Structure 1
């Protein structure tokens, strides 16, 4: 009777003071070493993203480098259907800090332990993962799910780094089609704006009445640029060149200074040509 009580006590989950539950991780069935994962239910007040629902998301710490997202998904699938898995270097918001790049131009990932967010289909899966006994390890590498490490992993990563030309060509063609479509839409929009705000010979702009309930259109960049050019032309017409004596004198001084500068540059160029003519390498 005492032995059954001891075995029942060993099957209880190990809960730490911070609310984390310890899950044992074993690389292979015949491996003697074990690794520990720390999991808890993800509950953050500032988290408003729908990618991490607070009642179905499990926060995982100390994820080893040999466990990518696919492996983590398979490990936690025994507790229930997994919707998504996200591994990050540091805990934080799900919003991406940098621009999204193509899958062919991804930045090099940092090799180290990561934190994970496992989203289940059902909230009961989170409870099942937290109540898992700590003396029953989760096996990473099995015959049905082999995990490569060491040289085999590097060879696989090197092989996967090569891009098939036909796949890359399809992505490039799709991107260029979208780009051409956006450029055509932008050119059409600018043409319509130019027609609506086109000035006549006397400087009047034709204003048409829009649909009922539409708001007034703000000034566009093209309209502001035309207005600025118009003001500059008016200013140049009003400006009198060399009308006063001091204006004519300053113009002559600037012209003489420019001629002297050009004369010095020509002297230096001639001296350089003469030095090159005297140079005899042999």
Structure 2
């Protein structure tokens, strides 16, 4: 976006077409070159996110790679208290869908110019930032706030990537404490359910209501063991019943074979008697 050809008086803000105000940026006090930021008030009515109030959010373009969120917060804090700073690769909604990763698995950030959303505590800070003179640059690196670049920046990023042993031990202890607490609560809950679902003298089991949307059924370990034993007894009875059926079927087969054998023997005996019989008409 090219700057406007209109001449601006010294000490006055520089406004270009599109409603953007030009803000000069200088890396340190010894730098000759200056970088230009383009900012205006954020007025996207279609965005319903409460994280970017329309009257307290400043939209900034052309943010250089060496400016992190902390650096931007420090630079714009001279116009008022900064509540929130968000840097993105391109303009968009603050509630875009994307993969949710653990805090230990951070995606590699793109190195390039970014856009930013700066939320101030008061709406008057927007006017103060837009009225800042373009002849007075904002200094990024000062003695109080050092900004590392090049090899020094890489060394710092590499050093910060390691978790200190004491911090790691603190994370592990916190996780184990939460785990022990959950186990104790689970054991206490199972104990209460076992007490509530004890069989009475007549063999009835009291079934309590479970969570919303689930069937009412016994959840205790004792009830589960009893159901398992009942299924095993039923399975054994079924196997025994099948064994008697098989035995009865074999007995019937043996009985039929015995009858057939006897029938054949009787046929042979009758045939032999007929052959031995002599004719006696009188």
Which category describes the TM-score, using the shorter chain as reference length? 0.5 to 0.7
Counterpart of 1:16 in structure 2 is 17
RMSD, aligned CA: 4.0
Counterpart of 1:173 in structure 2 is 173
What stretches of structure 2 of length at least 5 have no aligned partner?
1-5, 250-282
Correspondences of 1:120-139 after superposition (within 5 Å): 120-139=120-139
Q: Judging changes above 3 Å, is the alpha-carbon distance between structure 1 residues 242 and 36 closer, same or farther for their aligned structure 2 residues?
A: farther
Counterpart of 2:263 in structure 1 is none
The answer on whether the counterparts of 1:85 and 1:116 sit within 8 Å (CA) in structure 2 is yes
The answer on whether the counterparts of 2:207 and 2:216 sit within 8 Å (CA) in structure 1 is no
Please give the alpha-carbon distance, in whole angstroms, between the structure 2 residues aligned to 1:44 and 1:190: 53
Correspondences of 1:210-249 after superposition (within 5 Å): 218-219=214-215, 223=219, 226=224, 236=235, 237=237, 241=242
Counterpart of 2:69 in structure 1 is 69
Aligned partner of residue 53 in structure 1, secondary structure: coil
2:103 pairs with 1:101: yes
TM-superposed CA distance for 1:194, in Å, is 4.0
The answer on whether the counterparts of 1:65 and 1:114 sit within 8 Å (CA) in structure 2 is yes
TM-superposed CA distance for 1:80, in Å, is 1.0
Q: Any idea what the Cα deviations from partners look like across 1:78-112, whole Å, max 9, x if unmatched? A: 2111122222344332588514425xx54443322
TM-superposed CA distance for 1:66, in Å, is 0.5
Q: Any idea what the Cα deviations from partners look like across 1:205-239, whole Å, max 9, x if unmatched? A: 3257x9xxxx9895378649949858956874557
Q: Judging changes above 3 Å, is the alpha-carbon distance between structure 1 residues 43 and 158 closer, same or farther for their aligned structure 2 residues?
A: same
TM-superposed CA distance for 1:61, in Å, is 2.7
Please give the alpha-carbon distance, in whole angstroms, between the structure 1 residues aligned to 2:82 and 2:26: 21
The answer on whether the counterparts of 1:12 and 1:131 sit within 8 Å (CA) in structure 2 is yes
Correspondences of 1:64-213 after superposition (within 5 Å): 64-90=64-90, 91-93=92-94, 97-102=99-104, 106-198=106-198, 204-206=204-206
Counterpart of 2:54 in structure 1 is 54
Q: Any idea what the Cα deviations from partners look like across 1:115-172, whole Å, max 9, x if unmatched? A: 3222211111012222333343322122332211111111222233333212221222
Please give the alpha-carbon distance, in whole angstroms, between the structure 2 residues aligned to 1:191 and 1:44: 56
Please give the alpha-carbon distance, in whole angstroms, between the structure 2 residues aligned to 1:86 and 1:171: 27
Q: Any idea what the Cα deviations from partners look like across 1:8-66, whole Å, max 9, x if unmatched? A: 2772332432x443322222233333323232323444655544333222222332211
What TM-score comes out, normalization by structure 1 length? Answer: 0.65
Aligned partner of residue 242 in structure 2, secondary structure: coil
Correspondences of 1:26-45 after superposition (within 5 Å): 26-45=26-45
Please give the alpha-carbon distance, in whole angstroms, between the structure 2 residues aligned to 1:216 and 1:159: 50
Number of residue equivalences: 235
The answer on whether the counterparts of 1:44 and 1:54 sit within 8 Å (CA) in structure 2 is yes
The answer on whether the counterparts of 2:13 and 2:21 sit within 8 Å (CA) in structure 1 is no
What TM-score comes out, normalization by structure 2 length? Answer: 0.65
The answer on whether the counterparts of 1:22 and 1:134 sit within 8 Å (CA) in structure 2 is yes
Deviates more, 1:119-128 or 1:134-143: 134-143
Q: Judging changes above 3 Å, is the alpha-carbon distance between structure 1 residues 178 and 139 closer, same or farther for their aligned structure 2 residues?
A: same
Q: Any idea what the Cα deviations from partners look like across 1:172-193, whole Å, max 9, x if unmatched? A: 2122112221222233223333
Please give the alpha-carbon distance, in whole angstroms, between the structure 2 residues aligned to 1:44 and 1:195: 59
